[in-house]
Amino acid sequence: MAICLRMIKDRWVALCAVESDEKENDVYLDDNQHHALATKFALDFNSEGNYGISFDSIIANLMDSQKVRDAEEELMEWLDKINEGE
């Protein structure tokens, strides 16, 4: 999934690029960059014994505030359009 990094209220948040509209100063990571980071984080958490991964609820709430559409719904609409063309 392509990721958008955005500064909101002096905090960086990571968003699904499909679910938010582009804003000035956003930083985008493509699927391969996202996968590389996710793999690194998983390795780090596992090596530190953090199996119950915690998260910052303030940042999670800021992330939720930026969602304007659902990525799964967008995918299904896109697939329907492709299938209609067959």
Dump the DSSP string for 27-86.
EEE-HHHHHHHHHHHHHHHHHTT--S----HHHHHHHHHT--S-HHHHHHHHHHHHHHT-
Reported confidence tier of residue 86, pLDDT bands at 50, 70, 90: low
Instruction: Name 29's bridge partners.
Output: 3
Residues 6+ apart with CB under 8 A from 59: 11, 12, 13
Give the pLDDT confidence of 8-62 residue by residue, as tens digits: 999 999 999 999 999 999 999 999 998 898 888 888 887 777 776 767 788 888 8
> Is residue 67 scored above 80 in pLDDT?
yes
The predicted model scores a pTM of: 0.65
H/E element holding 4?
strand 3-8
